[in-house]
Structure 1
Amino acid sequence: MYVATRCHISTITRPDERVRCLWPLLSLLLLLWLVSGPLRAEAVGWQYQGQHWFSLQSEHFVVNYPSGLEDIAHRTVQIAEQTHTELSAWFGSQPEHPTQVVLVDDFDVANGWATPLPFAQMRLYISPPDQVSGLEHYDDWLSLLIRHEYTHVLHADLQRGAVRQSRNIFGRMWFSFPHALEPSLLLEGLAVYLESNKDLGSGRLNSTFYRMQMQAELEQQPDSLDQVLVPPRDWPYNKAYLYGAWFVRYLAQQYSEQQLKYFLWLHSGRLLPYSELSGDFRRSFGLSLEQLWQGFLAAQAADWQPQRQQRLAQSWQGEPLPGNDLVTERRPMASNGTWLAAVEYSGESARQLVSYQPAGTGWERVQHGSVKGASSVDIGQDGRLVYSRPVTAVDGRVWNDVFYRQKNGREVRISQGLRARQVRWLNTGQLLVRRMVAGRAELLTLDLHGNRQLLWRGDYGVVIGDVDLSPDRTRLVAAVKRPRQGWNLALYSLASATWQPLTNTSATENAPVFRDNQTLLFSADYEANFDIYQLSLTDQQLTRWTRVTTGAFEPQWLADRLVYQRYSAEGYRLYEVQELLTASATGLPDNRQLAEYRQADTRPITAIIQAHPAAATLDQTSPISAQAAAPADQYQPWHDLRPRSWFPLWYVDEFHTELGVTTWGQDALGRHNYSVNLLRDVTYGVTSGALLYSYDNRYGLYLSREYRYAQGAEDNERDQQGREDRLIAQRNYLLHGFEDRFALHLGSVWESKRVIDNAGLSWRGGQWHQGLVGLAATWNNRQSFRQVPGVGQGSYADLVIESNDVLNSQYRGALAQFRGRYTLDLPGRDTLTLGLDGGIAADTGEYFALGGQTGDEAQLFGRDQIALPGYHAGVRYGHRYHKESLSSRLWLGRLEQNWSTWPIGFGDYFTRVYAVAGGVEEDGQFSRWLPALGGELTLQLWWGYTTQGSLTIGYSQGLDNANSNGGEGYLQLVWPLGG
């Protein structure tokens, strides 16, 4: 949902008109301050047949979960209560009411979120991480996730003084949560700091990957405070977490945790937190936030410079693969010994499915078309390509399915809802699939017709990472994470269905592949840095292939050489190494026995718990206590739906004064959402308002009553008053398919306008009403790219058919409208969009109105105001219309920085030039086209450090001099409301 205000510059001719123009902008800025942040939590996935939701109540939590996750729910209660004991002692406070926790298995990614609105709540994705990304340092995934998200809950809940009084009066409004309005740098930094436990080796601050990323940043030009305060589009994408974690750690170590806690206490009383942020750092640490940041960067560089110099002197990394571009995501890739298949993404265009093959002294690179994401890829001995990729469904789930690329480039979907994390060719007609379902790892076979068979299912807490099949297809190797262990390597026999452990070290061994039937290649951080190693299965001899200054990942054996991905501060690049690392090259031994490396802690779990009591949550084999929570009840949304906040509304203009109130609410699952605005006109004694209700993304209801006023034609004529009522009801996704790009929707719109006082308002006659019921078919195949503003490429179309004959309406007959957009991805970050619109209505139906800078574009049903820039609204009326448009968006540059510590940041800036023309049918024939040209300059803005909007300056000029408005400039501010 977006809110926009537009100021038409051509109308500003008098000082009082300038005030009228600026007032909406100022009002919107005030509104954004009141509601900045995510107002709506995402809804859980649609409830499928046979699924039910339950709630477990403990002293400080309510855990809501779907059927099938009972054991995980009980474990969540135990972990959450222990986490509460530890973290509430650290913060010195706790929420007044139990925190709502929702367990979901709707995504094939490891994630979660927390928010204080409208009540303290956490959403936990139970699917654990299975690759090296910084999150791999955990024992029980839920323990790490709950600790991180509950830190957010307690952090945001801190209150004192005026903030506490504000909550007592207005409830849970955003301005009553000053810590929730902090930059993500501080929010996520504190959460990562408190999730990390040095003694247990858990959390991202104990991750070799996180240390590598920070070292790589320091090797280049590290980000200034202004740059890191806004969500970045440049690499790495996790800067708020990365920089924030090390910065908070620096504050705690350089100063003390007590001073850090003092800052939290001090800032928790600020009703205007943005203006006090840097000052509160000065009061707490003696330096401003900017000065602390400079000290942090200097201290980090001094700490890590000696390590960098040592690794530079001993580096052995091979050569970049000729012809491969730097990409900003790690490539899923695989080799058949002759070809290397990979999925590459630059952020400027769609992901590309490519293959590499050595050719003479160079490399041959072949493109096989684009893909909409990829979690894994594999290439068979015959060159056939198969991959798994996420499919975003309208039911709210994002699960991975398996696809096969035919030689003609056509993509064929093999599975439906399979949740495939990784796919490998097993033989010419079968695939091996790795997946996670309900928190448990599984291996299964899949044929090209979608038939599947389960091979193995692990216990809870056993996570299978990257897998690879031996050349003889009798075994697979996997990175395996077991309870109370790190990531180790293991072999699985397809014949006997048994596992054979290969390693038991405290290092993180990952991405294993077979070089041949008796030799493995893999990545590991044996010496506090990820490098590529080779392991002989016959004698356990370990051989080093690389010694890079950052990190080496995803090894593949291709022809007679090693190919891997090397991390840098700009992204990942492919490297090749054709010689083993030797002592003559680096002064280091080229091989050693695996046993020489650090071994895992093999003490009994009871001994670990005695040494570190917090590790008790890691014992995943202990029985679940039935006393941890009350017996589960059926989930009920009604208690959570009650309003938790309110705010007064006040509107004054030359005609009247309105006073009112606004409130909103939702349930813990995010399915039920509503907002209510009520206004009393104290001048005329009438009441207006609006009610908005939605149930997940399928059902929507909007009801409103609005009064409008106009000055009489004569000075002595009293004001005119009119009332407008509107009811919109919509049922989305009656049918959906084709990866949910196609959908059918049902909707109805009822509107009534009538004059209450004098005649002569903008609508015709003293009373007008219309009732429409319609069916819409939509097609949405658009894609967005990280480095491209707006739509990157793809098509959108809708066909809407509505009738006036079902509801009470003064019109009769049916109407139909079509709208189509096609966006072409141009080189770089530019795009070209073609548009076609048209409509036809019965002669007894309402007219379409053509003209104006804006129309009813945001609506699917009930559209009758058709925008045509360069002309006045309603320049043409008719029962048939057409409109054609061509626009090009040209990317100009990127600022990507905040304005000091104020809650205003700047992103990309770009221009859009467009040509548009339209016409309507008048007296049985179409009028001549009304063409127009225009241009816009847009600057992306960040409000409150996290919410993105835009500021646009534009000009449009109608080319039909007899009907144009003489050229019009406009200023538009757009901001999203809700999440």
Structure 2
Amino acid sequence: MRHMYICVLTVLVALSPATGLFAASLFDPGLRWKSIKTEHFWVHYHQGLEEQARRAARYAEERHPWLTGVHNWQPRLRTDIVLVDNTDLANGFAMPFPYNRVQLFVVNPPMDSFISNFSRWDEQVFTHEYTHILNLDIINGLPSCTRRSIGRFCFPGMFMPIWALEGNAVNYESLLDGRGRNYSAMTDMVMRMECAGDRFKSISLASHYPREWPSGNVPYLYGGLFVRFIEEKYGKHRFARVFEDNSDNIFPYLVNRSAVNQFGPDFVRLWREWESFLKARYDGQMRAIRAGGLTSTRTITAGGYRTTLPRFGPDGKWIAFVRMDASKKAALMKYSLETNAFSEIGAVNLPSSISIPANGAIYSTDLERHRSFSLYKDVYSWTRKKSKLTAGGRLHYMDVSRSGDRAATVRYGAGRYSLELSDTSFRGGTVLIDRTDMQLGYPRFSPDGRRLVFTLKNRSGVTDLVLYDDDAKTMTRLMSDRFDDITPSWHPDGERLLFSSDRTGVYNIYEYRLADHSLRRISNVAGGAFHPDVSPDGATLVMTLYGPGGFDIALADYPRDPPAAGVGVPSLLGLRDFSAPDIPDEDRNGPGSRDYSPLRSIAPPLWVPMAGSDELYEGRYDFAVGFILPGADTLFRHSYFTSLNYFTVQKRLAVRGQYRYSCLYPDIQIEYENEALFPAGDAFPWTRTGETGVKRRLDHSGGVSALFPLLYYHSFHAFTAGYFIEEALTDIALPYQGGETRIRDRLARLRASYLYSSTRQYDYSISKEDGREFVVFSDIYNSAYGSDLSFFKGWFQFTELFRGIGANHVTAVTFRGGLSKGNPAHLAPFPLGRFEKGEWKSPPGEEDGLGMRGYPSGALYGNRLALGIAEYRFPLARGDIGYRTIPFMFRNLGGTVFAEYGNVWNGRSAVGDFRWSAGMEFHLKITAGYYMDLSGYAGFARGFNRGGEDQFYFGFATLVEGALKAAGAR
């Protein structure tokens, strides 16, 4: 039987964070939510964020008339703004489905990041995300009829290239106050090296998310500057007209027609013009930089991307750093200056600081999941193995004194930063700065441990160095200027500071002499230099050096007499300077708050028409029409869908519903399905030819289950327990026999399942790598809770992934086993084979997908299963290949060779009864529609034993799989 349903809901549901397996971990169920209603927004926030919520209510209304005016679009309903403080990663996102929604994470980005150019981060990120809402929500002309008929189904802005959506948002974040990515020295650094390294990206790459560095930043950095170029050429806010022009297009992906309508030339031609303009601009910058004499450096790493955080060992013979490239797991590394050899200390996630005291121990701050719901930075130590020293500490940065007995940390929470001193247990201690609203970072002890330098980002967005003297108990701001001074460290003599600064428009390493407050520039690089550290003998400088491929670790001789670069103007700071200002009257006297209610947003945003066909028997089909109603509240505490289909030949209704409750730990899910509703009576078997047997199965089922997730940064556990009951109605009409037979089976089961995965996928991976997966299911059927039959069924699958002989080569070893006991023969659950000749259908679920390749599915089932699989997976072609602004990009072509050995059986089985198969597959990965990564495969398998056959089979995404009819039995 074939089922085909055409439903664009798949795309919309994929955009929802609540539709994943772990909706329970979206927000901590212990959070208590409030809401503030303004004229155009609902602001939702949890305890501890009232001040930020009142600010958001004010600045959202302030930005609304400006942004809606320039985009000529006013959302019909209030936009939801969700403020949450559950991560130490700065970000935000916007989504138009089910309703317009902006989510903002209440934490500032690191001061050395690409998004660090801001004065008020919350206002800047809101401006960016609300621009997305307006660009995605806008709809006019004939497409707008869908909003009035089926609801929030059509979003013309989703058919725009990624560079256009992100570029326009970057443009408005930058117009807000003259900051943002368009006016950042970081952006200049990236684009300067893109031009100098002859790596300028095509418009096709920027229309997607490319993997070549700067990878995911390309649509933002390229898009922002390209939109700025267009508006400087054609007029301010002209690019917003492109979204308005696109909003009434009947056909999607006509972005270049909109460009021609607005500007004359299409975007491809404008891109080439902008590329020439930018290369000329940055060529002038490079000539000026080279004229000053480039610093001689020796790069010791070559992976690029985000490799960073170099620190000399206490004897000066080795360097520790963090490797973060595109083809391997992130790791803490050690480089020997004596042998030039690298060694891996251990895996990391996303470290923000490392420290090495005189005893050679290594400390780091790194991200990890906290109680599944949050993503926090904590302190780790590295001796023989990695040890976690704090839990949920939210310690963004730390440093340990050379003596190893003192630690300095920057702690974050609810929009406030604290600077603390403690011992190396990182508990208790002294609070030097308590909960300031100004961002703190990069603390570093002086060699004698009596002074501490750190970075302060003031309320105007300017970053300065501050020196704390533990003897005098004073804090001194060393400079007060408009430049960003970040990532400080100490010279071994204790009288000089080193730091990175954009004083010339290029991030270079500077020296600050405490004796006379003089500044000296000690590097002149083409890209950028960060995170300096000096060897114990003062002879060698190590730094993070930016080049065409990203960040690498580089060495340079420490200059004996660097040229003067100005004089600092120090000023003493008191505790009052760090105190957060009082809440402004306009925020305090704004709209009142109320308890969050899901009822306001729980209504279904659309109904999705469906059409399909159902094969009744060979040569005759039934046609189905119906609809789906999906929905979720703003916080995704409640999510649901229900569907109704009518089959025109059978005159049969089928209903299905599912509801998930995510206010507790675990998630609770209730589901119901009934395929056997006959409003006008059942006409089975619909034929009296006497030549065709007809068989039909209809299900009437329901269930309730609980999902317990346990998430980590690179792994997860998920335990599910539930009760399910189903009534299977099987109608049979045999040829040349009168009457019909109905078999009614009622099966009720308790289910328990466990799923674990620690696998990873890197930018250039062709499959999962570096880890293992384990899944086990067990079902217990028993008459005590409504089942006609009592039996047990369970199965497991374990996969271990090893590195192969080349980059992103993978050796996979899989074991499967299954046992069913007490079931009747017709309910034997485990199939021998995997594909059926001449059939294509949705991929099977659970035990139906456990069979061997090279043997037909449906031919043989057993109560026992044992199977071992060995696979070798390797890349054949990798590259981001697209054309112009066409919404299609080739990503990977990979190959797999495999061998399988196993069997299914009833009762006893001998090893001699086991069967072999082997074959090869080709796996293709593409990106369609700019956003959707899709995978497909085609393969050949041969079963070498009884029942085996030659199979040519295929599959596409999770939608369909099948085998060619021409496959031959053996």
TM-score (norm 1): 0.87
Q: 1:629: Cα distance to partner?
A: 4.0
1:316-465 residue pairs with structure 2 within 5 A?
316-322=294-300, 324-337=301-314, 338=316, 339-359=318-338, 363=340, 365-392=342-369, 395-407=372-384, 410-426=385-401, 427-445=403-421, 451-453=427-429, 455-465=431-441
Structure 2 residue aligned with 1:53: 33
Structure 1 residue aligned with 2:544: 565
Structure 2 residue aligned with 1:188: 166
Structure 2 residue aligned with 1:165: 145
Structure 2 residue aligned with 1:667: 633
- Of all paired residues, the percent bearing the same amino acid is 22
Structure 2 residue aligned with 1:642: 603
Distance 1:739 1:369, change over 3 A: closer
Per the alignment, in what secondary structure is the counterpart of residue 924 of structure 2? strand
Per the alignment, in what secondary structure is the counterpart of residue 87 of structure 1? helix
Structure 1 residue aligned with 2:967: none
Q: 1:485: Cα distance to partner?
A: 4.4
Per the alignment, in what secondary structure is the counterpart of residue 967 of structure 1? strand
Equivalent-residue separation in structure 2 for 1:152 and 1:142 (angstroms): 16
Distance 1:314 1:326, change over 3 A: farther
Per the alignment, in what secondary structure is the counterpart of residue 818 of structure 2? strand
- Is 1:290 matched up with 2:268? yes
- Is 1:836 matched up with 2:818? no
Equivalent-residue separation in structure 2 for 1:448 and 1:579 (angstroms): 31
Query: Please, which moves more after superposition, 511-520 or 423-432?
Result: 423-432
Distance 1:202 1:710, change over 3 A: farther
Q: What code does the residue aligned with 2:499 have?
A: F
Equivalent-residue separation in structure 1 for 2:436 and 2:452 (angstroms): 21
Structure 2 residue aligned with 1:939: 924
1:705-731 Cα distance to aligned partner (Å, 9 max, x none):
447999989665475433123435331
Distance 1:944 1:393, change over 3 A: farther
Equivalent-residue separation in structure 1 for 2:483 and 2:906 (angstroms): 77
Per the alignment, in what secondary structure is the counterpart of residue 917 of structure 2? strand
Q: Are the aligned partners of 2:604 and 2:629 in contact in 1 as well (CA < 8 Å)? A: yes
Per the alignment, in what secondary structure is the counterpart of residue 871 of structure 1? strand
Per the alignment, in what secondary structure is the counterpart of residue 625 of structure 1? helix
Query: Please, which moves more after superposition, 850-859 or 231-240?
Result: 850-859
Distance 1:399 1:689, change over 3 A: same
Structure 2 residue aligned with 1:611: none
- 1:723 corresponds, among 698, 717, 723, to 698
Distance 1:177 1:105, change over 3 A: same
- Is 1:796 matched up with 2:773? yes
Q: 1:355: Cα distance to partner?
A: 2.1
Structure 1 residue aligned with 2:828: 847
Structure 1 residue aligned with 2:722: 747
- 1:884 corresponds, among 868, 871, 880, to 868
Q: Are the aligned partners of 2:371 and 2:710 in contact in 1 as well (CA < 8 Å)? A: no
Q: What code does the residue aligned with 1:264 have?
A: F
Q: Are the aligned partners of 2:530 and 2:545 in contact in 1 as well (CA < 8 Å)? A: yes
Equivalent-residue separation in structure 2 for 1:29 and 1:315 (angstroms): 62
Over the residues paired in the alignment, what is the CA RMSD in angstroms?
3.3
Equivalent-residue separation in structure 1 for 2:214 and 2:755 (angstroms): 36
- 2:707 corresponds, among 732, 753, 769, to 732
Q: What code does the residue aligned with 1:753 have?
A: A
1:820-969 residue pairs with structure 2 within 5 A?
820-826=798-804, 827-844=806-823, 846-853=827-834, 863=847, 866-926=850-910, 928-960=913-945, 962-969=946-953
Q: 1:917: Cα distance to partner?
A: 2.4
1:722-762 Cα distance to aligned partner (Å, 9 max, x none):
3123435331227789997445431334333212463699x
- 2:60 corresponds, among 70, 75, 80, to 80
Equivalent-residue separation in structure 1 for 2:200 and 2:97 (angstroms): 34
- Is 1:699 matched up with 2:668? yes
- Is 1:224 matched up with 2:202? yes
Q: Are the aligned partners of 1:581 and 1:590 in contact in 2 as well (CA < 8 Å)? A: no
Distance 1:706 1:381, change over 3 A: farther
Per the alignment, in what secondary structure is the counterpart of residue 656 of structure 1? strand
Structure 2 residue aligned with 1:469: 445
Q: What code does the residue aligned with 1:180 have?
A: M
Equivalent-residue separation in structure 1 for 2:829 and 2:51 (angstroms): 58
Q: Are the aligned partners of 2:71 and 2:241 in contact in 1 as well (CA < 8 Å)? A: no
- Is 1:540 matched up with 2:517? yes
Structure 1 residue aligned with 2:964: none
Equivalent-residue separation in structure 1 for 2:556 and 2:606 (angstroms): 62
1:522-601 residue pairs with structure 2 within 5 A?
522-559=499-536, 560-580=539-559, 590-595=563-568
Distance 1:498 1:36, change over 3 A: same
Structure 1 residue aligned with 2:221: 242
Equivalent-residue separation in structure 2 for 1:154 and 1:620 (angstroms): 33
Equivalent-residue separation in structure 1 for 2:588 and 2:903 (angstroms): 72
Distance 1:292 1:131, change over 3 A: same
1:810-829 Cα distance to aligned partner (Å, 9 max, x none):
33133332221111123311
Equivalent-residue separation in structure 2 for 1:131 and 1:710 (angstroms): 71
- Is 1:301 matched up with 2:282? no
Per the alignment, in what secondary structure is the counterpart of residue 824 of structure 1? strand
- 1:630 corresponds, among 554, 573, 591, to 591
- Is 1:111 matched up with 2:91? yes
Gaps of 5+ in 1: 1-19, 583-588, 600-604, 606-618
Distance 1:36 1:440, change over 3 A: closer
Q: Are the aligned partners of 1:857 and 1:866 in contact in 2 as well (CA < 8 Å)? A: no
Query: Please, which moves more after superposition, 246-255 or 340-349?
Result: 340-349
Q: What code does the residue aligned with 2:698 have?
A: R
1:598-653 Cα distance to aligned partner (Å, 9 max, x none):
x9xxxxx9xxxxxxxxxxxxx96661425764321111112211011112112245
1:20-35 residue pairs with structure 2 within 5 A?
none
Q: Are the aligned partners of 1:44 and 1:104 in contact in 2 as well (CA < 8 Å)? A: no
Equivalent-residue separation in structure 1 for 2:286 and 2:19 (angstroms): 43
Per the alignment, in what secondary structure is the counterpart of residue 241 of structure 1? helix
Query: Please, which moves more after superposition, 134-143 or 681-690?
Result: 681-690
Equivalent-residue separation in structure 1 for 2:160 and 2:486 (angstroms): 36
Per the alignment, in what secondary structure is the counterpart of residue 165 of structure 2? helix
- 2:185 corresponds, among 208, 216, 220, to 208
Q: Are the aligned partners of 1:747 and 1:774 in contact in 2 as well (CA < 8 Å)? A: yes
Q: 1:938: Cα distance to partner?
A: 1.6
TM-score (norm 2): 0.88
Per the alignment, in what secondary structure is the counterpart of residue 196 of structure 1? helix
Distance 1:358 1:864, change over 3 A: closer
Distance 1:567 1:730, change over 3 A: same
Q: Are the aligned partners of 2:843 and 2:849 in contact in 1 as well (CA < 8 Å)? A: no
Larger relative contact order (CA 8 Å, sep ≥ 6) = 1
1:537-574 Cα distance to aligned partner (Å, 9 max, x none):
11111111111111111111124211112111212222
Q: 1:579: Cα distance to partner?
A: 4.1
Per the alignment, in what secondary structure is the counterpart of residue 318 of structure 1? coil
Equivalent-residue separation in structure 1 for 2:329 and 2:436 (angstroms): 36
Aligned length: 917
Q: Are the aligned partners of 1:140 and 1:483 in contact in 2 as well (CA < 8 Å)? A: yes
Q: Are the aligned partners of 1:848 and 1:866 in contact in 2 as well (CA < 8 Å)? A: no
Q: 1:772: Cα distance to partner?
A: 1.9
1:906-934 Cα distance to aligned partner (Å, 9 max, x none):
21221122212221232433571122112
Equivalent-residue separation in structure 2 for 1:481 and 1:627 (angstroms): 25
Q: What code does the residue aligned with 2:699 have?
A: E
Q: 1:498: Cα distance to partner?
A: 4.6
Equivalent-residue separation in structure 1 for 2:842 and 2:651 (angstroms): 34
Equivalent-residue separation in structure 1 for 2:184 and 2:10 (angstroms): 38
Q: Are the aligned partners of 2:143 and 2:249 in contact in 1 as well (CA < 8 Å)? A: yes
